[in-house]
Amino acid sequence: MSRSDFAPISATLREQLFDHYRARGRAGRASDMRLWRLTIETNSGLVERRFGPVLDRYLQASGRSTAEGLDVVDLGCGFGSIAVYLAYRGATVLAIDPDRGLQEVGAAAAARHGLPAIFMQGRMEESPAISMNYDLAVLNNSSCFVMDPILRRRAMAETFRVLRPGGHLVSTNPNRSCPVDPFTGWPMIHWLPARHATAAARLLGRPRSAVRLLSGRAARHELEGAGFIDIEAWAPARGLLGRAMRPIARYQHLLARRPPAASLGTIAWSDEHPTSHGQSTPRDPSLSRERA
């Protein structure tokens, strides 16, 4: 599998992203295109470079040589470009996001190239995933958008629930310890309370979503609270410099695992919807390994 193999899929993602913004009246305005150009390229031409090392680190940690046959759930998939890439690498993917309009980008690319990725509307904290047998859960630039602390705990517990015992989580989210705000490029604006950071960014002419960023230590604590073990922070950049810069890198990369044997009777995600970690449910019938 060479890097050029993904190029036609990347081109389709780029085409669908332009169509997405054009349909919303943004493609014709130069100011908006400057603003969204990086988003378009991040979710098309840069997908393989961005997520390839993340997937390879997971494969190394899990003792696998390939992504073929993996069952993956992408929680908060956004445009779905990561889900499409995982399907291209051989995984069967369920991609979930509350914004169906964003999902249409990845769904169109997956359909055009016959990739086994299914897109469903839903939220991380109340996932429509029935199966508790996923090998891998992906949180890519998604958990930061869950602001409420109670909903965040539910989201982490729900991520735990859908994994099989011994399954892994990979999380790539903005790092609060970075001195530069990942969303605006302004220094230290993200150290303000979320509401004030959004207001300050607006005054500075840099639109910014309301997000809750965590330091590496806080992110690790959050995963531990949900029951994950073997939590590892790692840096895609190699060498001493990459490791030295990891605590203040723009994004933090975390790898964690659900314990191989979960205790029966432990509530998995919320008082309203209790689910025992030890309970087993059938695999999603819609997620066939057969390609469309």
Give dist(CA 203, CA 192) in Å, integer. Answer: 14
Give dist(CA 24, CA 30) in Å, integer. Answer: 14
Answer yes or no: is 21 within a domain: no
- Residue 113 pLDDT grade (very low, low, confident, very high; cuts 50, 70, 90): very high
Answer yes or no: is 191 within a domain: no
Q: What are the structure tokens assigned to 129, written together? A: 């995933």
Kindly tell me if the per-residue pLDDT of 286 is higher than 60: no
Count of structural domains, the chain: 1
Please compute the mean of the pLDDT values over residues 224-236 and round it to a whole number: 92
Which residue range(s) make up the domain with 53?
Answer: 49-176+213-257
Answer yes or no: is 172 within a domain: yes
- Residue 33 pLDDT grade (very low, low, confident, very high; cuts 50, 70, 90): low
Answer yes or no: is 208 within a domain: no
Answer yes or no: is 162 within a domain: yes
Answer yes or no: is 225 within a domain: yes
- Residue 277 pLDDT grade (very low, low, confident, very high; cuts 50, 70, 90): very low
- Per-residue pLDDT tens digits for 137-148: 999 999 988 989
Kindly tell me if the per-residue pLDDT of 284 is higher than 80: no
Q: Measured in Å, how far apart are the chain's first and last C-alpha atoms?
A: 20
Give dist(CA 270, CA 151) in Å, integer. Answer: 9
Answer yes or no: is 59 within a domain: yes
Answer yes or no: is 197 within a domain: no
Phi, psi of 120 (to 5 degrees): -130, 145
Q: What is the pLDDT of residue 280?
A: 35
Q: What is the pLDDT of residue 172?
A: 92
- Per-residue pLDDT tens digits for 189-206: 888 888 888 888 888 877
Average pLDDT, the chain: 83
CATH at residue 59:
3.40.50.150
Is the distance from CB of 145 to CB of 29 less than 8 angstroms?
no
Give dist(CA 38, CA 209) in Å, integer. Answer: 16
Give dist(CA 251, CA 218) in Å, integer. Answer: 14
Torsion, Cα 168 172 173 175, to 10 degrees, reads 110
3-state secondary structure of 161: helix
